[in-house]
Amino acid sequence: MDSANALVKDFSRHLREGRRRSLHTVRAYVTTAERFCAFLMEHIGGAVGSKEIKALKQADIRSYLAFRRGDGLSNNSAARELSAIRAFLKFVGGGADDNSAQIPKIKGPKVTRGVPRPASPDDIIAMAEDIAESASEGWVGARDWAVLLLLYGSGLRISEALDLTGDALPLSDTLRVTGKRDKTRIVPLLPKVREAMEHYVDLCPHPMTAEQAFFRGKRGGPLSPNLIRRVVQQARGKLGISDKTTPHALRHSFATHLLAGGADLRSLQELLGHASLSSTQVYTAVDAAHLLDVYQNAHPRAS
């Protein structure tokens, strides 16, 4: 029988090497898996292995969440911990596409919605990783992960990302994008984004030709933007992320974070593909609002 320690170690390796998750997510998920297994040993009064974990029911997971509530866990944190448990159960169950039916169904806690603001990088990555982990097939998870990283990492509109074709290959450190009114521009392709896109290409079961869509649906046709919107909606609900965090909001976050980091408006205008500078200037107001929020929360004389 696989011991709990061995299962958690294998789960960690699976997240790092098989799913290519960030160190932050691996650390959080593994910590939750360790805590969950320790609880189960007390809960069932004996050793815990794959057999015991596969036999878990809704009541067992609810008992764990109630136990964690005793530690002062918030609704938002409980939602994220439940997401990690689901991933662990799916892994222990073999990770098969039809394995989801064996995982106990449990509704997550109600989460608090924050005020509208640019999504934090941590929230964006957590959401993208949850979507990839929850996908029915490995290549679908790799695809969704690559799409969302591209929207945030390069500031693309969702239509621009899904209009890419196999002609973009081989990838380099920049990407040619066709935007509104068929205007083309060059955007940077960060190493992590390029790596995610190449990983998707390696796993995609459909042939990648210059004329066909780069991002493909399950049957091989172009990926629908509504599918991406739907998985984003599901993930942010589970993780307690603001409902303002839509695929298009990742482009806004890209712009706001660049501006906060010192990018000038003209450069930002080019990166976003805005026809006029006035379209880009809206981000100065967003950034000023964010700075005021930071000031009011941090300055000792602000209240």
Is residue 299 predicted with pLDDT exceeding 60? Answer: no
Q: Which of the residue ranges 1-10, 127-136, 230-239, 272-281 would you say has the lowest mean pLDDT?
A: 272-281
Helix H, strand E, coil C: the string for the chain is CCEHHHHHHHHHHHHHHHCCCCHHHHHHHHHHHHHHHHHHHHHHCCCCEHHHHHCCCHHHHHHHHHHHHCCCCCHHHHHHHHHHHHHHHHHHCCCCHHHHHHCCCCCCCCCCCCCCCCCCHHHHHHHHHHHHHHCCCHHHHHHHHHHHHHHHHHCCCHHHHHCCEHHHCCCCCEEEEECHHHCEEEEECCHHHHHHHHHHHHHCCCCCCCCCECCECCCCCECCHHHHHHHHHHHHHHHCCCCCCCHHHHHHHHHHHHHHCCCCHHHHHHHHCCCCHHHHCHHHHHHHHHHHHHHHHHCCCCC
Residue 197 pLDDT grade (very low, low, confident, very high; cuts 50, 70, 90): very high
Average pLDDT rounded to a whole number, residues 245-261: 75
Average pLDDT rounded to a whole number, residues 6-35: 86
Q: Which of the residue ranges 19-23, 40-44, 164-168, 286-290 would you say has the lowest mean pLDDT?
A: 286-290
Q: Does residue 165 or residue 241 have the better pLDDT? A: 165
> How high is the pLDDT of residue 214?
95
> How high is the pLDDT of residue 68?
86
pLDDT per position as a tens digit, 79-135: 888 888 988 998 988 754 444 445 667 766 665 544 335 677 778 888 888 888 888
Q: What residues are annotated to the active site? A: 157, 180, 248, 251, 274, 283
| Mean predicted lDDT score pLDDT of the chain | 80
Q: Does residue 285 or residue 122 have the better pLDDT? A: 122
Average pLDDT rounded to a whole number, residues 9-16: 90
pTM of the entire predicted model: 0.55
> How high is the pLDDT of residue 280?
66
